[in-house]
Amino acid sequence: MSSTLVTMPERARALLFLNGLLLFCFAVFVGWQWFFALLGRIELWPLVPPIDVKLPDDHRAWRMVHMEAITQGLMLMALGLGGRFVQLSTRQHRLLFWSALMTAWLFTVPTWFHALLGTRGLAFGGEPFKPGLANDVLYLVGWPAVIAVHILLALAVIGVWRHVRGLPRT
């Protein structure tokens, strides 16, 4: 565990970018579900005849998961592309990497379950929204991401600041 400052390893940068792309794929996946929820049926004529389905149709919840996947995917892609500007120790890079993945996936996937289950997960107990076990479990699942996002942002700012400090002033 060296304290020497290095740029983000290329493999970590590529994996962050890949996870960002996977979140975009997830956004498309939930986008189709949102579309079918709006219609109340699977409508893919002429490929498939209409199939009636009953999906929860809270449009705010579907918009949230769709946009969460896009936003978190963009964040991971930006970190992957900008990793060469982040000067941290090897250990700090590892912490940044895992914090970024935890933030992105644990902010995104639970919102999908909220859209499917009609919960919000904003408060333990559910109030003022739908209370229940699903809400409380998803609320607790979100806490690692709440902590990870602060670690991620602090390390990213510190790492880029170190890089900027080392650049010549022109």
* 132 phi and psi angles, rounded to 5 deg: 145, 175
* Cα gap 88→139, rounded to integer Å: 32
Q: For residue 121, is pLDDT > 90?
A: no
Q: Which two tokens stand for residue 75?
A: 């964040």
Q: What is the mean pLDDT of residues 19-33?
A: 98
Is pLDDT larger for residue 56 or for residue 129? 56
CB within 8 Å of 43: residues ≥ 6 apart:
36, 50
Q: What is the mean pLDDT of residues 68-86?
A: 98
This prediction's pTM: 0.92
Q: Please, what is the angle between helix 10-39 and helix 59-82, to 10°?
A: 160
For the chain, give the mean pLDDT: 94
Q: Which two tokens stand for residue 157?
A: 């700012």
* Cα gap 13→81, rounded to integer Å: 7
Tokens 């964040």 -> residue: 75
| pLDDT class of 1 with cuts at 50, 70, 90 | very low
CB atoms within 10 A of CB 29: 14
Q: Which two tokens stand for residue 33?
A: 């579900």
CB atoms within 10 A of CB 47: 6
